[in-house]
Structure 1
């Protein structure tokens, strides 16, 4: 490994493989947090259809529930995908490419999670009788996620690059 070129773009004295190992560890920590939240929320969503209250919801809310559960399934599947990547590609000497692909999956999983939480909140607030306010509140929460998860990090990155 001593003959591998060192990377300068990270500001660290590491090979491409060492950088991939470091980034992989970082990604695992990030995705553990998102996976746990997504899995817990998805589990609760699955139980909703078996409650007595579910029998009283209208057609729109039933459809919204189906959308929320489907989005939740996509979010959970996307956030668990790094496990499959690692299991199938371990030892194949493709870690730098794997890390890049997994980073994209985590980003997609977070976007799906944000939309799922917002849609689940819309469903909950509609069933609670908030009507039009439910749309405003769930929309505000989605915008909050975009601000916290996208705008603030991108702003920090742009400032750091100046």
Structure 2
């Protein structure tokens, strides 16, 4: 029978300790693995957010931009701000790692980078929702834009938050 982390709470106090114990790795090895995983995840989202920012930054220089309503311009500014914020949070861990390299602060970097990644992903979701709303409103009208915003926001919430939190709490739908 497999051992679970709840078998002996006196011996294994938290998820990190359980993770290291189950993998038979030292604290340094665990931090290295966590950092490596985080960097791989950041590579995926950084490309997307960079593309989004590029597309957003050229919009004001397009002839049709001047026809946007005041509300759509505010949505545009909010969307650009969210995309820039996502970039700041998603790139910050790289800067911290460089500044703190060989200072034995990997635990601090991994912990803070995790929080930054979560903030960056949340801002990316907002930026993508805003960008979708802008496109849909321009192409199909304000009502379609508003409906798209709701649908996209719900999709992000379901895929990026609800599903992983369900698994985090130990509920796994894959078993039937």
Q: Are residue 73 (structure 1) and residue 111 (structure 2) matched?
A: no
Q: TM-score, normalised by structure 2?
A: 0.83
Q: Deviations over 1:83-105 (max 9, x none)?
A: 11111111110111210110010
How many residues were matched structurally? 155
Q: Secondary structure at the match of 2:103?
A: coil
Name the counterpart of 2:3: none
Aligned residues: CA RMSD: 1.5
> Quick one: distance in 1 between partners of 2:160 and 2:77?
26
Distance 1:143 1:82 in 2: 28
**Deviations 1:8-35, CA, capped at 9 Å, x for gaps:** 4101111111100000000000000011
Of 30, 41, 50, the residue aligned with 2:52 is: 41
Higher relative contact order (CA 8 A, sep 6+): 1
- 1:13 correspondence with 2:46: no
The correspondence for 1:63, drawn from 62, 71, 74, is 74
**CA deviation map 1:126-147 (0-9, x unaligned):** 1113221211211111111111
Partner of 2:4: none
Q: Secondary structure at the match of 2:97?
A: helix
- For structure 1, the 5+ residue unaligned runs are 1-6
Q: Which stretch has the larger CA shift, 45-54 or 60-69?
A: 60-69
Offset, 1:73:
0.7
Q: Against the structure 1 CA distance between its residues 54 and 98, is the aligned structure 2 distance closer, same or farther, given a 3 Å change threshold?
A: same
Partner in structure 2 of residue 4 of structure 1: none
**Shift of residue 158, structure 1, vs aligned partner:** 1.7
Secondary structure of the structure 2 residue equivalent to 1:9: helix
User: Which stretches of structure 1, 4 residues or longer, exceed 2 Å deviation after superposition?
Assistant: none
